[in-house]
């Protein structure tokens, strides 16, 4: 009898371990106190977490809303940070007796964080495609586990090995040219099987592509550029992501993307957005059709998608101190959401 009880106990222990919470991603990984917009969206991605109960260890932070989507692997939490101080706390997910504690941090905001000096018409802007500019660290040319592993400078569609270190080492050269700002083509992770060099099929909005370097290296590049009175403009993409992003591989909901069940390509007719006589059909195809098949079109009319993207821009500005954003495929994005994005960014950074 005792042996049976022991075996049963071992089985129960194994089962509880087998079905324990697994959180794969927390986005954003951290935030700041004393932001102008006191609402924070935290998106959790993991195995079967959608119906967990949520609690917060900090008494200064209120849970405004918990959203379970169609896909049980996503959970969105909206927090009220109006009374929150900088510090660490835990987000706890509970299902029955099972609990998962997710550590989180609100960082102390720099006193001059709002005083970002944006670029303007007086600046001389120099465009850099990071993969094509300079290879400062050959050790990151090929990263184990990433889909594209070819480096070939004779192939126009292959990666050539340029990176953040290569740019950093040549800031004096750029300064001598007389430029006052550099605009980098997208540097976020682009883990696509081919033609990932250009960066416009993002597979992680919060992570610098490891073949370019790290988030910290990019932050250091911005600081070094500023020390030489060079501004940095970041290229961002709201319209779409790469088809290997987990948003598309494991879709949060059917309305996360436009034409999610039936690939439809955009007409590329950007004049339809401003023509008062255009048909609703033409406008829909132009703005909601996919740019190409490997770049699924994000549905900005889904409020969670819009909040995720707007918040992502603010995160990069606050984290790195960049001086501007070039918004890719701007005419194809939702006009009202773009207007909201502009307002929220300038509310947070008046001189951006």
Instruction: Name the residue among 196, 221, 191 with its Cα closest to residue 207.
Output: 191
> Of the candidates 81, 107, 133, which is a domain's last residue?
107
- Render pLDDT for 70-125 as a digit per residue (tens, 0 to 9): 999 999 999 999 999 999 999 999 999 999 999 999 999 999 999 999 999 999 99
Q: What is residue 274's predicted lDDT score, i.e. its pLDDT?
A: 85
Under DSSP, the state recorded for 331 is: G
Segment 168-180 shows an average pLDDT of 98
Under DSSP, the state recorded for 306 is: H
Instruction: Name the residue among 98, 83, 93, 97 with its Cα closest to residue 26.
Output: 93
Residue 181 inside a domain? The answer is yes
Q: What is residue 127's predicted lDDT score, i.e. its pLDDT?
A: 98
pLDDT at residue 19 is higher than 90 = no
Tell me, what CATH number does 57's domain have? Answer: 2.60.40.10
Q: Using CA atoms, how far apart are residues 137 and 321, in angstroms rounded to an integer?
A: 24
Q: What is residue 9's predicted lDDT score, i.e. its pLDDT?
A: 46
pLDDT at residue 7 is higher than 60 = no
Higher pLDDT, 234 or 21: 234
Q: Using CA atoms, how far apart are residues 241 and 333, in angstroms rounded to an integer?
A: 12
Residue 200 inside a domain? The answer is yes
Q: Are residues 48 and 133 in the same domain?
A: no
pLDDT at residue 174 is higher than 50 = yes
Q: What is residue 17's predicted lDDT score, i.e. its pLDDT?
A: 43
Cβ–Cβ under 8 Å, residues 228 and 178: no
Using CA atoms, how far residue 304 sits from 39, 252, 257, 273, 308, in Å, is: 13, 10, 12, 24, 6
Residue 202 inside a domain? The answer is yes
pLDDT at residue 18 is higher than 60 = no
Segment 14-22 shows an average pLDDT of 55
pLDDT at residue 318 is higher than 50 = yes
Q: Are residues 98 and 28 in the same domain?
A: yes
User: What proportion of the chain, given as a percentage, has pLDDT over 90?
Assistant: 88
Q: How confident is the model at residue 20 (pLDDT cuts 50, 70, 90)?
A: low
Segment 317-330 shows an average pLDDT of 96
Q: How confident is the model at residue 271 (pLDDT cuts 50, 70, 90)?
A: confident
Higher pLDDT, 263 or 4: 263
Q: Residue 85 is part of which domain span?
A: 21-107
Q: Are residues 178 and 133 in the same domain?
A: yes
Residue 271 inside a domain? The answer is no
Segment 341-348 shows an average pLDDT of 97
pLDDT at residue 8 is higher than 70 = no
pLDDT at residue 188 is higher than 90 = yes
**Count: domains in the chain:** 2
pLDDT at residue 136 is higher than 60 = yes
Residue 279 inside a domain? The answer is no
> Of the candidates 59, 74, 107, which is a domain's last residue?
107
pLDDT at residue 194 is higher than 50 = yes
Q: Are residues 84 and 140 in the same domain?
A: no
Q: Are residues 189 and 329 in the same domain?
A: yes
């Amino acid at each position: 009898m005792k042996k049976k009880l022991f075996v049963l106990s071992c089985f129960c222990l194994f089962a509880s371990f087998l079905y324990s919470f697994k959180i794969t991603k927390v986005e954003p990984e951290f935030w700041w106190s004393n932001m102008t917009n006191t609402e924070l969206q935290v998106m959790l991605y993991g195995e079967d977490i959608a119906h967990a109960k949520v609690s917060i260890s900090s008494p200064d932070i209120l849970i405004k809303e918990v959203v379970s989507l169609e896909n049980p692997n996503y959970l969105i939490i909206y927090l009220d940070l109006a009374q929150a101080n900088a510090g660490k706390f835990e987000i706890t997910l509970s299902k029955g007796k099972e609990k998962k504690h997710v550590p989180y941090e609100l960082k102390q905001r720099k006193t001059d964080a709002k005083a970002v000096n944006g670029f303007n018409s007086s600046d001389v802007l120099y465009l850099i495609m990071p993969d094509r500019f300079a290879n400062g660290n050959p050790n990151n040319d090929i990263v184990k586990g990433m889909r594209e592993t070819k480096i070939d400078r004779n192939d126009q569609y292959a990666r050539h090995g340029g990176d953040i270190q290569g740019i950093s080492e040549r800031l004096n050269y750029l300064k001598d040219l007389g430029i006052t700002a550099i605009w980098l083509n997208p540097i976020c992770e682009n883990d696509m099987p081919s033609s990932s060099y250009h960066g416009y099929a993002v597979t992680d909005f919060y992570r610098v592509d490891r073949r370019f370097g790290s988030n910290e290296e990019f932050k250091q590049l911005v600081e070094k550029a500023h020390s030489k009175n060079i501004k940095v403009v970041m290229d961002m993409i709201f319209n779409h992501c790469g088809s290997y992003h987990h948003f598309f591989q494991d879709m949060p909901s059917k309305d996360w993307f436009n034409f999610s069940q039936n690939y439809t390509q955009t007409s590329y007719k950007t004049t339809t957005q401003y023509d008062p006589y255009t048909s609703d059909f033409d406008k829909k195809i132009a703005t909601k059709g996919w740019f190409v098949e490997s770049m699924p079109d994000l549905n900005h009319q889904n409020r969670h998608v819009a909040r995720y993207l707007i918040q992502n821009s603010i995160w990069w500005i606050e984290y790195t101190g960049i001086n501007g954003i070039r918004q890719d495929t701007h005419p194809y994005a939702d006009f009202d959401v773009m207007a909201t994005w502009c307002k929220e960014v300038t509310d947070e950074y008046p001189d951006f």
